[in-house]
Amino acid sequence: MLRLDSADAGFAAAFETLVNARREADADVSRDVSAILARVRAEGDAALADYTRRFDGHDLETTGWSVSATECRAALDGLSRDLRDALELAATRIVAYHEKQRPVDSDSVDGAGVRLGARWNAVDAAGLYVPGGRAAYPSSLLMNVIPAKVAGVQRIAMVTPTPGGEINPLVLAAAQIAGIEEVWRVGGAQAIAGLAYGTQRIRPVDVIVGPGNAWVAEAKRQLYGVVGIDMVAGPSEIVVVADGRNDPDWIAADLLSQAEHDPTSQSILFTDDARFADAVADAVERQLAELSTRETATTSWNANGAIILVPTLDVAMPLVDALAPEHLELAVDDPDTLFAAVRHAGSVFMGRMTPEAVGDYVAGPNHVLPTGRRARFSSGLSVLDFMKRTSFLQLDNGALHAIGPAAVALATAEGLPAHAASVARRLVNHHGKED
């Protein structure tokens, strides 16, 4: 864990190093992924079956290519009442938040008589990747699918690796709650290729979302343009801005909730209270000792954690903007004043009673957020990621006479005579001349 003090001479350089540190694994998977994509494109299901035998250790002809609705229903029925209620509360709240993201169409006529508008439609089909093993989170499934459902996407195809044929019942239960009717037992880059290109069994989709390992992420990156994708995702991160009036144990838990995700995760605390900084550092060590995820969390905290002392919290805000964190907690009495200074953050958790984890599950906003400083230019997953806008235009004779001559002038200047003619012929004829 790194300790910095913004009053120290070397602070600017040390902070810049922190901002630019690349935590993403530089696995050279690009060539492997290209080969997998090309083979799935050429061979379809045969390639999927072969890769699944090799990487997941089961035969799709034996285990079945897809998971039935009966299995999903059984998984949901097998949940404890508490867990089922929790998933349903989460789903209900996520739906409510995302319904407000539905865009509004427009259609109006301006002063020149030009009718102008835009109409939004959902994509026809979305693909959802759900990782197998440790990172198979039902909460992520809900966060990825619900915006698509709210957008009005008619078909959602889920893919997930089932190593040895095994699948996490919590994930199936969440799929059932989310209303997913198509679940394929394939994973990795090959599953992404299957969704993008289509195979004999799997019809192609238009957008692919969902977290995955380096191979899955690279496959999505390479297929961006063939399909839409949610984002290029990297390791998770949290920045906490806290004064000395917080419970150090609460803040330590918040930092560790990020650290336990992955060894590459990052947790950073800004505070204006040196004694509080020490108290949080101590609390982190105490809590780490008791945590079942301590191996991951300790690696992450030691390698990527930081506590940064600032003279006043408003001094921290430009530094936070430079980090453009995925998650930002403002643990103070008046978070709005600090929030007003934030331009770049995925999601902000305001006040002392808003631990980031509550947003991971049940608050409503999406937990699929830009990482690795990408909040400078991108947003969390939303209904808009599953929709697209068609602009439209309608002119009558008067409107074309009002603005058409300018189009003719510009087309001519750009050396595009057919562009000019397509407007000019309509202008001429309506003046009563024939061309």
Of 39, 93, 185, 281, the residue at the interface with its own copies (CB under 8 A) is: 93
Least CB distance to its own copies at residue 317 (A): 13
Which one among 21, 46, 96, 341 touches its own copies, defined by CB under 8 A? 96
What residues numbered 130-169 form the site for its own copies, per CB under 8 A? 134, 137-139
Separation of CA 351 from chain center: 24
- For its own copies, the closer CB: 49 or 424: 424
**Rounded Cα gap, residues 220 and 389, in angstroms:** 22
DSSP state of 136: -
Binding string, residues 364-383; x marks residues near its own copies by CB under 8 A = xxx---x---xxxxxxx-x-
Is 327 annotated in some ligand binding site?
Answer: yes
The answer to whether 432 contacts its own copies (rule: CB under 8 A) is no
Given the complex with its own copies, which of 70 and 391 has the nearer CB atom?
391
Burial class, 35, CB count within 10 angstroms (exposed 0-12 / middle 13-18 / buried 19+) = exposed
C-alpha 257/C-alpha 254 separation (Å) is 5
261 is in an annotated binding site: yes
Q: Which of 90, 70, 86 is nearest to 176 (CA)?
A: 70
Query: Is 20 annotated as a binding-site member?
Result: no
Binding to its own copies (CB under 8 A): which residues in 194-253?
A: 206-207, 221, 224-225, 227-228, 231-232, 247, 249-250, 253
Q: How far is CA 284 from CA 10, 23, 294, 303, 331, in A?
A: 26, 21, 11, 14, 17
Q: How far is the CB of 61 from its own copies (least distance, A)?
A: 29
Using the rule CB under 8 A, which residue among 291, 308, 341, 431 binds its own copies?
291
Contact 381, 207 (CB under 8 A): no
User: Which conformational region is residue 235 in: left (phi greater than 0), alpha (psi within -120 to 50 degrees), or beta?
Assistant: beta
Within residues 318-357, the interface with its own copies by CB under 8 A covers 335, 339, 342-351, 353-357
Binding mask 27-66 for its own copies (x = CB under 8 A): ----------------------------------------
Nearer to its own copies, 201 or 221 (CB): 221
Using CB under 8 A, count the residues that bind its own copies: 121
Report the 3 state secondary structure along 143-207. Answer: HHHHHHHHHCCCEEEEECCCHHHCCCHHHHHHHHHHCCCEEECCCHHHHHHHHHHCCCCCCCCCE
Least separation in angstroms between CB 7 and its own copies: 27
Given the complex with its own copies, which of 134 and 245 has the nearer CB atom? 134
How far apart are CB 257 and its own copies at their closest, in Å?
4
- Binding status of residue 416 toward its own copies by CB under 8 A: yes
By CB under 8 A, residue 177 contacts its own copies = no
Neighbours of 412 (CB within 10 A): 14
Whichever of 5 and 253 has its CB closer to its own copies, that residue is 253
CA distance 37 to 129: 16
Q: What is the dihedral of CA 251, 297, 363, 104, to 10 degrees?
A: 120
**Minimal distance, residue 52 CB to its own copies, in Å:** 25
Q: Is 168 annotated as a binding residue?
A: no
Q: Which of 170, 167, 161, 166 is nearest to 142 (CA)?
A: 170
Question: CB-based contacts of 218: which residues, under 8 Å, 6+ apart?
Answer: 29, 30, 33, 189
Q: Does 268 bind its own copies (CB under 8 A)?
A: no
Binding site feature residues for NAD(+): 129, 190, 213
Binding site feature residues: 129, 190, 213, 236, 258, 261, 327, 360, 414, 419
